[in-house]
Amino acid sequence: MVTDNLNETSYNNHDHHTRHPRLRLGVFGFGCVGQGLYHVLHETQGVKAEIKKICVKTKNKQRPLAEDLFTFNKEEILNNPDIDVVVELIDDAAAAFEIVKAALQNGKSVVTANKKMLAEHLEEIYQLQKKYNKAVLYEGAVCGSIPILRNLEEYYDNDLLNSIEGIFNGSTNFILTKVFEEKKNYLDALKQAQDLGFAESDPSLDVKGFDPKYKLVIAMAHTFGVFVTPEEVINIGIDKISDLDLKFARENNYTIKLIARAFKEGGKVFGFVAPQFIEATNPLASVRNEFNAVQVQGAFAEKQLFIGKGAGSYPTGSAVLSDISALSYDYAYEYKKRHQLSGLVYSNDLLVEAFVSFDADHAIKIQDFEQFESGYSALGKQYMAGLVKLEKLKEWSQTPGVGIILAPNAKFVSASKQTEKLQLA
Amino acid sequence: MVTDNLNETSYNNHDHHTRHPRLRLGVFGFGCVGQGLYHVLHETQGVKAEIKKICVKTKNKQRPLAEDLFTFNKEEILNNPDIDVVVELIDDAAAAFEIVKAALQNGKSVVTANKKMLAEHLEEIYQLQKKYNKAVLYEGAVCGSIPILRNLEEYYDNDLLNSIEGIFNGSTNFILTKVFEEKKNYLDALKQAQDLGFAESDPSLDVKGFDPKYKLVIAMAHTFGVFVTPEEVINIGIDKISDLDLKFARENNYTIKLIARAFKEGGKVFGFVAPQFIEATNPLASVRNEFNAVQVQGAFAEKQLFIGKGAGSYPTGSAVLSDISALSYDYAYEYKKRHQLSGLVYSNDLLVEAFVSFDADHAIKIQDFEQFESGYSALGKQYMAGLVKLEKLKEWSQTPGVGIILAPNAKFVSASKQTEKLQLA
Q: What is the pLDDT of residues B213-238, one digit of tens each?
A: 999 999 999 999 999 999 999 999 99
Decide if A381 contacts A244 (C-beta within 8 A). yes
Q: Cα separation of A94 and A121, whole Å?
A: 10
Q: Is B155 within 8 Å of A154 when comparing Cβ atoms?
A: no
- Bridge pairing between strands A381-389 and A350-359: antiparallel
pLDDT at A424 over 70: no
What pLDDT is stored for residue A195 in this prediction?
80
- Calculate how close chain B gets to A34, using CA atoms only, in Å: 14
What pLDDT is stored for residue B48 in this prediction?
84
Task: List chain B residues with CB under 8 Å of A14.
Answer: 11-14, 329-331
pLDDT at A46 over 80: no
- Calculate how close chain B gets to A306, using CA atoms only, in Å: 5
A407's CB contacts (< 8 A; 6+ apart) are A276, A277, A353, A354, A355, A385
- Highest mean pLDDT among A194-208, B284-298, B335-349 belongs to B284-298
What pLDDT is stored for residue B260 in this prediction?
98
- Bridge pairing between strands B268-279 and B345-346: parallel
Q: Which of B130, B142, B159, B325 to probe the A interface (max A CBs under 10 A)? A: B159
What pLDDT is stored for residue A200 in this prediction?
67
* Number of Cβ atoms within 10 Å of the Cβ of B188: 13
Single pTM value for the model? 0.88
Q: Which helix (H) or strand (E) holds B391?
A: helix B390-397
Question: Could you list the active site residues of A?
Answer: 215
Task: List chain B residues with CB under 8 Å of A318.
Answer: 158-159, 298, 300-301
Phi-psi region of A294 (alpha: psi -120 to 50; beta: other; left: phi over 0): beta
Q: Is A309 within 8 Å of B318 when comparing Cβ atoms?
A: no
- Bridge pairing between strands B136-137 and B109-112: parallel
* Number of Cβ atoms within 10 Å of the Cβ of A50: 11
Identify the closest residue of chain A to B152 by CA–CA distance.
A147
DSSP-assigned letter for residue B45: S
What pLDDT is stored for residue A418 in this prediction?
57
Task: List chain A residues with CB under 8 Å of B343.
Answer: none
What pLDDT is stored for residue B425 in this prediction?
36
DSSP letters, B318-368, are HHHHHHHHHHTTT-----HHHHHSTT-EE---EEEEEEEEEETTS---GGG
Q: Is B14 within 8 Å of A12 when comparing Cβ atoms?
A: yes
Least confident of A224-228, A313-317, B89-93: A313-317
- Calculate how close chain B gets to A384, using CA atoms only, in Å: 31
Which tens digits make up the pLDDT trace of A50-88?
Answer: 999 999 998 777 888 888 999 999 999 999 999 999 999
Catalytic residue among B108, B213, B215, B268: B215
pLDDT at A23 over 90: yes
Amino acid at B76: E
What pLDDT is stored for residue A7 in this prediction?
35
- Calculate how close chain B gets to A302, using CA atoms only, in Å: 7
Residue B228: which of B215, B241, B239, B247 has the closest Cα? B215
Q: Is B286 within 8 Å of A288 when comparing Cβ atoms?
A: no
Could you tell me the pLDDT band of residue A417, with boundaries at 50, 70 and 90?
Answer: low
pLDDT at A283 over 80: yes
pLDDT at B117 over 80: yes
Q: Cα separation of A113 and A103, whole Å?
A: 15
Which tens digits make up the pLDDT trace of A130-146?
Answer: 999 999 999 999 998 89
Identify the closest residue of chain A to B161 by CA–CA distance.
A44
Percent with pLDDT over 70 in chain A: 92
Identify the closest residue of chain B to A286 by CA–CA distance.
B283
Q: Is A321 within 8 Å of B329 when comparing Cβ atoms?
A: no
Task: List chain A residues with CB under 8 Å of B318.
Answer: 158-159, 298, 300-301
What pLDDT is stored for residue B1 in this prediction?
38
User: Average of pLDDT values for A409-422?
Assistant: 74
Q: Respond yes or no: is residue B257 known to be catalytic.
A: no
Q: Cα separation of A388 and A384, whole Å?
A: 10
Q: Cα separation of B413 and B60, whole Å?
A: 57
Could you tell me the pLDDT band of residue B2, with boundaries at 50, 70 and 90?
Answer: very low
Of B9, B157, B318, the CB nearest to A298: B318
pLDDT at A242 over 80: yes
pLDDT at A273 over 60: yes
pLDDT at A425 over 70: no
Task: Supply the mean pLDDT for chain B.
Answer: 88
Q: Is B158 within 8 Å of A309 when comparing Cβ atoms?
A: no
Q: Is A308 within 8 Å of B301 when comparing Cβ atoms?
A: yes
Identify the closest residue of chain B to A280 by CA–CA distance.
B286
The Cβ-side half-sphere exposure at A398, using a 13 Å CA radius, reads 7
Task: Supply the mean pLDDT for chain A.
Answer: 88
Task: List chain B residues with CB under 8 Å of A9.
Answer: 18
User: Average of pLDDT values for B162-186?
Assistant: 92
Of B17, B286, B304, the CB nearest to A8: B17
- Calculate how close chain B gets to A283, using CA atoms only, in Å: 5
Structural domains in chain B plus CATH codes: 148-308 (3.30.360.10), 350-424 (3.30.70)
What pLDDT is stored for residue A5 in this prediction?
38
Q: Cα separation of B193 and B186, whole Å?
A: 11
User: Average of pLDDT values for B151-173?
Assistant: 90
Of A18, A46, A315, the CB nearest to B301: A315
Task: List chain A residues with CB under 8 Å of B225.
Answer: none
Higher-scoring residue by pLDDT: A134, B364: A134
Q: Which of B150, B151, B155 to probe the A interface (max A CBs under 10 A)? A: B155
- Calculate how close chain B gets to A73, using CA atoms only, in Å: 30
Task: List chain A residues with CB under 8 Å of B40.
Answer: 158, 300
Q: Is B157 within 8 Å of A13 when comparing Cβ atoms?
A: no
User: Average of pLDDT values for B378-399?
Assistant: 91
Could you tell me the pLDDT band of residue A373, with boundaries at 50, 70 and 90?
Answer: very high
Q: Is B340 within 8 Å of A45 when comparing Cβ atoms?
A: yes
Least confident of A134-143, A306-315, B125-134: A306-315
User: Average of pLDDT values for B123-130?
Assistant: 98
Q: Is B47 within 8 Å of A154 when comparing Cβ atoms?
A: no
Query: DSSP 3-state assignment of B109?
Result: strand
Q: Cα separation of A278 and B272, whole Å?
A: 34
- Calculate how close chain A gets to B370, using CA atoms only, in Å: 34
Percent with pLDDT over 90 in chain B: 63
Which tens digits make up the pLDDT trace of B406-421?
Answer: 999 999 999 876 555 4
Higher-scoring residue by pLDDT: B220, A420: B220
> Between chain A and chain B, how many beta carbons pairs sit less than 8 Å apart?
202
User: Average of pLDDT values for B35-47?
Assistant: 85
pLDDT at A422 over 70: no
Task: List chain B residues with CB under 8 Å of A287.
Answer: 283
User: Average of pLDDT values for A11-20?
Assistant: 40
Return the biggest CA–CA distance within chain B. Answer: 75
Identify the closest residue of chain B to A46 by CA–CA distance.
B158
Of A14, A288, A317, the CB nearest to B13: A14
3-class secondary structure per residue, chain A: CCCECCECCCCCECCCCCCCCCEEEEEECCCHHHHHHHHHHHHCCCCCEEEEEEECCCCCCCCCCCHHHEECCCHHHHCCCCCCEEEECCCCHHHHHHHHHHHHHCCCEEEECCHHHHHHHHHHHHHHHHHHCCCEECHHHCCCCCCHHHHHHHCHHHCCEEEEEEECCHHHHHHHHHHHHCCCCHHHHHHHHHHCCCCCCCCHHHHCCHHHHHHHHHHHHHHHCCCCCHHHCEECCCCCCCHHHHHHHHHCCEEEEEEEEEEEECCEEEEEEEEEEEECCCHHHHCCCCEEEEEEEECCCCEEEEEEECCCHHHHHHHHHHHHHHHCCCCCCCCHHHHHCCCCEECCCEEEEEEEEEECCCCCCHHHCCEEEEEEEECCEEEEEEEEEHHHHHHHHCCCCEEEEECCCCCEEEHHHHHHHHHHC
